Amino acid sequence: MRPIALLSLSLTLCAALAAHAAHAAPATRDYAVLMQGRPAGEQKVAVAADGSVRVDFHYTDRGRGDRSTTRWRANDDGTLREYSGSGNDYLLTAFEESYRTDGAKARWKNPSEQGERDLAAPAFFLPPQAAPEATGALARALLKAPQGKLALLPAGEARIERVGEYPIAGRQGTVNLRLYSILGLDFTPRMVWLREDGSTAATIAASGWFITVDREFEPAVAKLTELQEAAGARWGAEFAQRLTHAPKGPLLIRNARLFDPRDLSVAAGSSVLVENERIVRVGPDAQVRAPQGAQVIDARGRFLMPGLWDVHKHYSSTEDGALDIAAGVTSTRDIANNFDTFLERVKRFDAGSEIGPRVLMAGFIDGPGPYAGPTKMLVSTPEEAIKAVDFYADRGYMQIKSYSSLKPELVPVLADRAHARGLRYSGHVPASMSARQFIENGADELQHLLYVELNFMYPGVKDTQSMQRLTAVAAHAHEYPPEAPPVREFIDFLKRHRTVIDATMALEEDLFGGDPTDKTPPGLRGVAERFPPQARRNLSWGALKPPHGQEEAYKQAFPSMLKLLKALHDAGVTILPGTDAMAGYMLHAELEAYARAGIPNAEVLRLATLTPAQVLGVDKDRGVIAPGKYADLVLIDGDPLKDMRDIRKVVAVFKGGKRFDPGEIEQALGIAPRQAAAVTAAGGR
């Protein structure tokens, strides 16, 4: 899965410590880095007498994680005079980055960027590998800036708003901390906690998954998270109220080309009548009348299909649900999240106080150890495993997902208990276990196609915890073509066991087919250019850099995986589309990858609509456009049956009959408009 830690770093792409605050802060400040409440690393900030700053930052996440030393000097206004940084990024790739200005011209260089700019006014440079302390540094500079605004380099603008001031109990007593939101770094505001003297108290990212906190306030992490989540919920509620268009009565969509994933047919001239949140009638235009007071939408012959699914999510911020809806994703499965905060987000989605799809939840379980996944639910014994399953089952979760550090002997325990409680069981294959053994011991599903590849390499490759699970696939996937006897035999095995594959192909294209110097995943090229300048700087999970002599093997890895995907589909193995990456747009990339693999477009659309509803047991309400189903619909100004790239041309999305305009959502998130025809409704909002 893409680490939530990477998402947290997208919140901290900034640097510089205002010189006026340097002597007010202690010479050294120590911060704990927590992932899911567990210690994962530390940050040390040292401020010299001359105002220069050194930050040593590291954290470990399943054998990966950032490690860096950064240094900077600031101007009196808090903008950066000079900066240097070195270390390794999340995937352990070495980096060096630098910035310098003489006041008239700014120059910067890092692994993915090199540029210079004449400075007509103060501007704040944002290093891609900045440590979390940089968020507070930017906040302090913005507080000094006129109207709380600063131009950003390489591009963009940031502004700051005060959210509130709260008494927080620290180790040395109660202190008033101020919560600020910074706009312009991403699609939605990013928050930072400051002391009264301006020094950084905490940065909390991804709904509490990744936290950097002054050790003084480590005991107050739960309170800080609660307050920040409440502030984010208030912002999301206003956003949702402004962008949700609810009909006052029945809703009638006319003149649509209606796609039915049951038989892959398309019916032109179709009407869909919606009352409350469900479909009540579907038929030819001439046979469906508009009830009195109905709002009527003319689809103008556009392609109307059931809402899309993404079965591999990790919601972390308000933008995720909105981006999903804007892309036509109306149903998802979140497959690992912070159970302290996530249930409240799902409730907000359901209530409409935050824009987002219908979400099924999978509970995340792993075993303790240096490679343990980012979860508090770590188990070592059968008793703990059973208790963990019951915890999730009692809270409405529909599935259990285990991870790579789980003891293999606990797999059947989890599987049996999950099945006894009516839950599915899936996961990453635990270390020292093959995918075949994982399935034989009760797993219903594999996350990521790479675990199918790793099955062919077992027992030569047993380490599924470390980077080897990625590098081994990159180096050897081409050695296992679909026609090879071991591959054919395992495909037959998967079919017999009715094993489901959550493929995450767009993510794997980023890993195995991307450019290590390009921060845009292949599946987002042509789309990311519309994103806010700072938001598009770190979209990539991180493409693997091939060792010398293995360039050709790495180049063949992803094409080989596409061939395997097609062979699995042709054999009747169930594939589900999931992203484990950026919301909305990467689901489009996932479906485009399936089409490039050779799966017929109509079958790809069935995999993205009806198949997940059937597999996950909610086809009574979702998956097709038919009477009695939820009115979860997507209107497309194109024909994805002819060209899967048209799946991106979404012009209207309906969730429970409420209409969302993708263009409005994108504009509100700072995304530049695309060329698309607008959809208007008659008969009221």
Is 317:208 a contact under the CB 8 Å cutoff?
no
How many whole angstroms separate alpha carbon 135 and alpha carbon 57? Answer: 14
What pLDDT is attached to residue 323? 97
Q: Verify that 349 and 251 share a domain, yes or no.
A: no
Residue 334 sits in a domain whose CATH number is 3.20.20.140
In whole angstroms, what is the distance from residue 474 CA to residue 156 CA?
Answer: 36
Phi first, then psi: what are they for 398, rounded to 5°? -110, 0
Shared domain for 293 and 354, answered yes or no, is no
- DSSP for 585-623 reads HHHHHHHHHHHHHT--HHHHHHHTTHHHHHHTT-TTTSS
C-alpha 472, offset from chain centre: 25
Say if residue 524 is in the same domain as residue 610: yes
Q: 522 by DSSP, 3-state: which?
A: helix
Strand partners, 267: 258
Output the domain CATH number for residue 263.
2.30.40.10
Structure tokens at 438: 């994982």
Residues 591 and 654 in one domain: no
Report residue 305 as tokens.
């299909």
Cα–Cα distance for residue pair 553/68, rounded to 1 Å: 30
Among residues 407, 387, 389, the alpha carbon closest in space to that of 399 is found at: 389
Angle at CA 464, nearest 5°, toward 459 and 468? 90
The pLDDT score that the predictor gives to residue 395 is 96
Q: What is the pLDDT of residue 358?
A: 98
User: 515-534 burial by CB neighbour count: b if 16+ within 10 A, else e?
Assistant: ebeebbbbbbeebbeebbbb
Q: Which residues pair with 291 in a beta bridge?
A: none
| The two three-digit tokens of residue 250, written as one number | 């029945």
Q: Which of 593, 622, 651 marks a domain boundary? A: 622
Question: What is the C-alpha to C-alpha distance for residues 495 and 511, in angstroms, rounded to an integer?
Answer: 27
Residue type, 427: G
Last residue of a domain, one of 207, 242, 277: 242
Both 418 and 281 in a single domain?
no
Q: Work out the burial of residue 460: count CB atoms within 10 Å of its CB; fewer than 13 is exposed, 13-18 middle, 19 or more buried.
A: exposed
Q: Are 665 and 538 part of one and the same domain? A: no
What pLDDT was estimated at residue 637?
Answer: 98
Of 330, 362, 359, the residue nearest 629 (C-alpha): 330
- Residue 641, domain extent: 247-306+623-685
Tell me the two tokens of residue 75. 């101007």
- Backbone φ and ψ for 616, nearest 5 degrees, come out as -90, 5
Distance CA 414, CA 388 (A): 9
How many domains are contained in the chain?
Answer: 3
Over the chain (685 residues), the average pLDDT of each successive run of 10 is 37 36 62 92 95 95 91 93 94 92 92 91 91 93 96 94 96 96 93 95 88 96 95 95 96 98 98 97 97 96 98 94 98 93 94 98 95 92 98 97 97 98 98 97 98 96 89 96 98 98 97 88 94 87 89 96 98 98 96 98 98 98 98 98 98 98 96 70 48
Same structural domain, 317 and 223: no
Q: Is the peptide bond before 146 cis (omega within 30 degrees of 0)?
A: no
What's the 3-state SS for 458-479? CCCCCCCCCCHHHHHHHHHHHH
* Confidence at residue 240, expressed as pLDDT on a 0 to 100 scale: 97
Are 648 and 611 contained in the same domain?
no
**Do the Cβ atoms of 635 and 679 come closer than 8 Å?**
yes
Three-state DSSP state, 529: helix
End-to-end CA distance of the chain: 40
Are 75 and 90 in the same domain? yes
- Tell me: do 365 and 461 sit in the same domain: yes
**Chosen domain end from 242, 262, 282:** 242
235, burial (CB in 10 Å: exposed 0-12, middle 13-18, buried 19+): middle
Q: Note the Cα 441 to chain centre separation in Å.
A: 30
Q: Give yes or no: residues 144 and 281 share one domain.
A: no
DSSP string, 193-239: EE-TTS-EEEEEEGGGTEEEEEGGGGGGHHHHHHHHHHHHHHHHHHH
- Give CA–CA dist 139/14, Å, rounded: 9
Closest CA to 359 of 346, 344, 345: 346
Considering the domain architecture, whether residues 22 and 69 belong to the same structural domain is answered as yes
